Amino acid sequence: MKECILELENDHPKLREVWYERTSPCTDEYNCLAFAAGDLCHWWEPGCLPPYYWPLIQHDLTVPSFIEAFKTIGFSVVPDATPQPGMEIVAVFVDENDQVSHAAIQEEDGLWKSKCGDRFDIRHSLDDLNFGKLKLFLTRPRIIRQLPDYDESEECPYHLELQKRDAGPEWRKAEF
Amino acid sequence: MTAPYPPICDVREVNHRKYSEVAMRLTEFLRKGSSAAHAERLVNELRGRRSDGANNSSVKERFEHLAQRWRTETDGYSMVRKKIQHHDYQEIIGELGYQAVPLILRELKLRGGHWYHALSLLTAENPIPPELAGDVPAMRECWLQWGRSRGLVDSE
């Protein structure tokens, strides 16, 4: 099994027992918040140095601040995740400090999609991931996401590099 | 004459300080946009301490070990703020110091990764213009260009 999948399942052990599907290559170019926002060209995160992308001047990940940020791209709060025709729903998770820790987007069939850190996107059920406590849902008219092509038979470039690195001193000597 | 900025830290104490404390003060310093001369003095002093340490080969091996473990253990984190709190990332900044900069740039070139915080702390610079915030390939290129202009990254 591919190393990145093993690592994902170590972080989210429930995925070993349930169905889920990988849907993209590994990339550090966007995170779950950007993915939920529909922006695959930026990493969305407030309060970093140097800064990453965030739509507001106020930089924090409290729930009210997060709602304000997502309001700027058309989202509003809804009480539950009942699918509505033509609408998309984002599920927002928080950590033990009530800071936003993850966001997942609902597909039209009711399943969810998440970008998992620097790894890949997966289709999954809402309670399969270990990203924190489900806090609220946001909705807006559905947009079309241009997802990167993914060939399951291809190895991630990053993990190929690691394999080379682990191959031993010959590669190391040649490389340095 | 009174110094225009309070000292970030007494460099004589650095060896006894934990990384997080020094990093916090550097972070605050960078955020305030304090004078470049002050930043340079601090960084040079920290460089001096660090260059007393291990030779280049062991620094490289240590960096590779820490960087690989950091990646494996934090790849799944959705937030950079959590990735950079990892002990290996902190050790690269706090223990390897400026000697790690060429190694970080090489790692960035080969495998990417969220090294921008470490690079800013270690060099007291930020070559990423505000309009490129969050555009990760562009952020990477800004730092690689910064490294090339200083001979720290291969130009090919």
Separation of first and last alpha carbons in chain B = 49
pLDDT band at A153 (very low <50, low <70, confident <90, very high): low
DSSP secondary structure letters along A6-60: HHHHHHSGGGGTS--EE-S---SS--HHHHHHT-SSS-B-SS-SS--B-SSSS--
A168 touching B (Cβ < 8 Å):
no
> B30 or B82: whose pLDDT is higher?
B82
Inter-chain contacts counted by CB atoms under 8 A, chains A and B: 91
In this predicted structure, the answer to whether residue A32 has a pLDDT above a threshold of 90 is: yes
CB distance A118–B76 less than 8 Å?
A: yes
pLDDT score, position A20: 84
Interface residue B33 vs chain A (CB under 8 A): no
Is the overall model pTM greater than 0.80, yes or no? no
8 Å CB contact of B76 and A162: no
Give the pLDDT confidence of B83-112 residue by residue, as tens digits.
999 999 999 999 999 999 999 999 999 999
> Which residues in chain B are closer than 8 Å to A116, comparing Cβ atoms?
76, 78
* Interface predicted TM-score (ipTM): 0.81
**In 10 A of CB A44, how many CB atoms?**
23
